[in-house]
Amino acid sequence: MGEQVSVKPSAYDTHLDRVEANYQPLTPLTFLKRSALVYPDKTAIIHGDRLFTYRQFYERARRLASALSRRGVGKGDTVSVMAANVPALLEAHYGVPMTGAVLNALNVRLDAANIAFILEHAECKVLLTDRGFSPVMREALSLTRARPLVVDIEDPAAEGDLLGETEYESFIAAGDPGFDWRYPADEWDALALNYTSGTTGNPKGVVFNHRGAYLNAVGAVLSFGFHPGSVYLWTLPMFHCNGWTNTWSLSIVGGTHVCLRQVDPAQIFPLIERHKVTHMSGAPVVLNMMIHAPEAVKRRFSHGPVDIATGGAAPPSAVIAGMQKMGFRVKHLYGLTESYGPSTECVWQEDWDGLGFDEQVAKVARQGVNVVTMHDQRVVDPDTMEDVPADAETVGEIVLRGNTVMKGYLKNGEATAEAFRGGYFHTGDLAVLHPDGYAEIKDRAKDIIISGGENISSLEVEEVLYRHPQIMEAAVVAMPHDRWGETPCAFVTPKPKAEGLSEAGVIAYCRKSIAHYKCPTRVVFGPLPKTSTGKIQKFVLRDRAKEIS
């Protein structure tokens, strides 16, 4: 055996230890504590006619933490919340983790069976439930073996039965506004639990930690340009990736939250005007809903433009143009629940200013580059993990690595290992890489249509359909075909006053813009099924396409 070589310790490794004075675990809970100090009398939350200052916001969160602690809630416990975008849910984003427990914000569009599964899988100890969802929650509680303490959120804007033993305001009133909460012992400690809406089987529980939430919230401030004057309208569900972590990021700058129970243009436009809203977020369907709102509902804003961030597939050019016309500036982001929401942004370049509108749309339609707080993003061959060439043509999978990737899936080590194979998180999204390093998603792996051996991007076909003057929404999926294996099938929602729209006419329209083999062979008219966050449920449409093939 050879001699072991001793390595002399570096001076940088001696007497330079990590101690309390120079290291504290990162946690987004510190954001609210600071804003309560810096902006104590500034309005933090608006909900209808109710206003809460940052001092009150912090006190109410501490009262909630105190009340939960008195009921035995602590580290390792789960507190679930079934609520619309109301103050209680915002307060829970701080009050629950102040006890060391994990916040589980429930998807309000789920059915009773899925909610029952989540309550049991998460081992829910306390459930805060909005009376507006009492029918589904009553059924869910009857189906699950979980037996949580139930606390009712009695929002004045909602109707429904009370299911619990106490009401939220009474519950927190008994808590201590000066509750001495503690930072997490380790920033890797679990902070939040969010369930993905799986298309088959039970949903998977995505676990966030304090460090990741802290960093992603900071990244949101940088990407979206939040500042102390920001007024954020909650058109995005707070349960969705904890509102893309904006439930915490607004507290970094002392911005104002404007709560909204339901996405309704008749409420959105007046609230933007009344509160001088500066920022919003939402799926492309929210933008589309606003564009096609009745003219009597729309408003012109004196304080614009209003920044609106949208995620997922690129909004069609017609949607971007429609939003700009109404006084909005669209910011394109991309991410998943597993990446705390946005992981990628399309950073605007100065030389794009001189481009024509269509050229600018082509640029911003790309998902872009990793946000500052995401360590690395690549487009790779998923089998070899080799980078694809930056030629805007070779398709690979987007993979992510960094501190803003989930801890893993709760009680599902196999799925976690599969998602993290090769040292990266596999998104399942297929993309190309442009010469300037910007990624552009071409489709979900499962949404690519293979016709006669040729790959067809459903997004490319949808972009053409959205340009049709009489089409409001469109989705394209694979339909089985005896000769070609698969062909595109388009599901289309006409605009309210559309006349004379026909299957043959839509197919002919597509043939003017794209290769004939990419055009739909069937067109089905009607409303499109959507998830609670406004994403079109393509798995439902694929099943329909199989039935009609």
> Are both 371 and 393 inside the same structural domain?
yes
Task: Find the CATH number of the domain harbouring 86.
Answer: 3.40.50.980
> Are both 320 and 428 inside the same structural domain?
yes
- Dist CA 222 CA 546 (whole Å): 45
- pLDDT of the residue at 124: 98
> Are both 90 and 185 inside the same structural domain?
yes
- pLDDT of the residue at 185: 94
Does the residue 47 lie in any domain?
Answer: no
Tens of pLDDT, residue by residue over 252-292, are 999 999 999 999 999 999 999 999 999 999 887 789 889 98
Does the residue 257 lie in any domain?
Answer: no
Does the residue 398 lie in any domain?
Answer: yes
> Are both 315 and 170 inside the same structural domain?
no
- pLDDT of the residue at 265: 94
Number of domains, the chain: 3
- Dist CA 100 CA 403 (whole Å): 20
- Dist CA 307 CA 277 (whole Å): 9
The pLDDT profile of the chain, 549 residues, written as one tens digit per residue, is 556 777 788 999 889 999 999 999 999 999 999 999 999 999 999 999 999 999 999 999 999 999 999 999 999 999 999 999 999 999 999 999 999 999 999 999 888 988 999 999 999 999 999 999 999 999 999 999 999 999 999 999 999 999 999 999 999 999 999 999 989 999 999 999 999 865 446 789 999 999 999 999 999 999 999 999 999 999 999 999 999 999 999 999 999 999 999 999 999 999 999 999 999 998 877 898 899 899 999 988 889 899 999 876 667 777 888 898 899 999 888 899 999 999 999 999 999 999 998 888 888 888 899 999 999 999 999 889 999 999 999 989 999 999 999 999 999 999 999 999 999 999 988 899 999 999 998 877 678 787 876 778 888 899 899 999 999 999 999 999 887 888 999 999 999 888 889 999 999 999 998 888 899 999 999 999 987 667 788 889 999 999 998
- Dist CA 535 CA 532 (whole Å): 7
- pLDDT of the residue at 460: 84
> Are both 418 and 461 inside the same structural domain?
no
Listed residues 387, 415, 445: the one ending a domain:
445
**Nearest 10 degrees: CA dihedral of 87, 65, 189, 145?**
-80
- pLDDT of the residue at 19: 94
Does the residue 518 lie in any domain?
Answer: yes
Q: Which long-range contacts (CB under 8 A, 24 or more apart) does 46-52 make?
A: 46/256, 46/257, 46/258, 46/259, 46/275, 47/86, 47/87, 47/259, 48/156, 48/157, 48/259, 50/87, 52/87
> Are both 323 and 351 inside the same structural domain?
yes
Listed residues 407, 425, 445: the one ending a domain:
445
Instruction: Yes or no: say if 538 and 477 are a contact pair by the CB < 8 Å rule.
Output: yes
Does the residue 332 lie in any domain?
Answer: yes
Would residue 385 be called left, alpha or beta, if left means φ above 0 and alpha means ψ between -120 and 50 degrees?
left
Could you tell me which of 41, 26, 90 has the C-alpha nearest to residue 64? Answer: 90
- Dist CA 506 CA 503 (whole Å): 5
Listed residues 418, 445, 472: the one ending a domain:
445
- pLDDT of the residue at 271: 97
- Dist CA 167 CA 150 (whole Å): 9
Indicate the residue type of 217. Answer: A
SS3 (DSSP) at 431: strand
> Are both 465 and 433 inside the same structural domain?
no
Does the residue 25 lie in any domain?
Answer: no
Task: Find the CATH number of the domain harbouring 396.
Answer: 3.40.50.12780
> Are both 193 and 311 inside the same structural domain?
no
- pLDDT of the residue at 314: 66
> Are both 334 and 398 inside the same structural domain?
yes
Does the residue 288 lie in any domain?
Answer: yes
> Are both 439 and 477 inside the same structural domain?
no
What does 30-75 look like in DSSP terms, one character per residue?
HHHHHHHHHSTTSEEEEETTEEEEHHHHHHHHHHHHHHHHHTT--T
The sign of the dihedral angle between the CA atoms of 362, 367, 370, 376 is negative
> Are both 267 and 415 inside the same structural domain?
yes
Does the residue 220 lie in any domain?
Answer: no
- pLDDT of the residue at 199: 43
Q: At what angle do helices 284-291 and 317-325 cross, to 10 degrees?
A: 50
Domain membership of residue 366 as a residue range: 263-445
Tens of pLDDT, residue by residue over 11-36, are 998 899 999 999 999 999 999 999 99
> Are both 199 and 81 inside the same structural domain?
yes
